[in-house]
Amino acid sequence: MGPGQSAKVRFVAAWALGCGGWLAVASCAPLDPRVGPLLEDDAGLDAQGRPTDGSTSGTDANNLPDGVAAGVSFALQIRPLINRAQGDPAGGGCRDCHDSTQPRHPGYDMSGFDTSTLKSIRRGGNTSGLRILIAGDPTGSVMVMKLEGRQTTGARMPKGETPWAPADIATLRQWITEGAQGGDNE
Ligand code: HEC
DSSP secondary structure string for all residues of 55-118: --TTB-TTSPBTT---SS-IIIIIHHHHTPPTT-TT---SHHHH-TTSS--HHHHHH----SSH
133 CA distance to ligand 1 middle (Å): 14
Q: Which segments in the chain show pLDDT lower than 70?
A: 1-70
Q: Residue 89: inside a domain, yes or no?
A: yes
Q: Check residue 27 and give its pLDDT.
A: 45
Note whether 89 and 38 are same-domain residues.
no
Q: Residue 104: inside a domain, yes or no?
A: yes
178 CA distance to ligand 1 middle (Å): 24
Q: Check residue 70 and give its pLDDT.
A: 55
**Closest residue to atom 18 of ligand 1, CA basis:** 154
Q: Residue 85: inside a domain, yes or no?
A: yes
Mutate to test the pocket of ligand 1, among 74, 108, 111 (most ligand atoms within 8 A of CB): 111
Q: Whole domain around residue 28: which residue ranges?
A: 3-42
d(CA 107, CA 114): 8
Note whether 93 and 24 are same-domain residues.
no
Q: Check residue 161 and give its pLDDT.
A: 97
- Predicted TM-score (pTM) above 0.85: no
Q: Check residue 52 and give its pLDDT.
A: 54
Q: Please count the structural domains in the chain.
A: 2
Q: DSSP label at 26?
A: G
Q: Is 126 in the pocket of ligand 1 (CB under 6 A)?
A: yes
d(CA 169, CA 60): 21
Q: Check residue 33 and give its pLDDT.
A: 47
Q: Check residue 186 and give its pLDDT.
A: 98
Note whether 107 and 158 are same-domain residues.
yes
Q: Check residue 55 and give its pLDDT.
A: 46
Q: Is 91 in the pocket of ligand 1 (CB under 6 A)?
A: no
Q: Check residue 56 and give its pLDDT.
A: 45
Note whether 27 and 118 are same-domain residues.
no
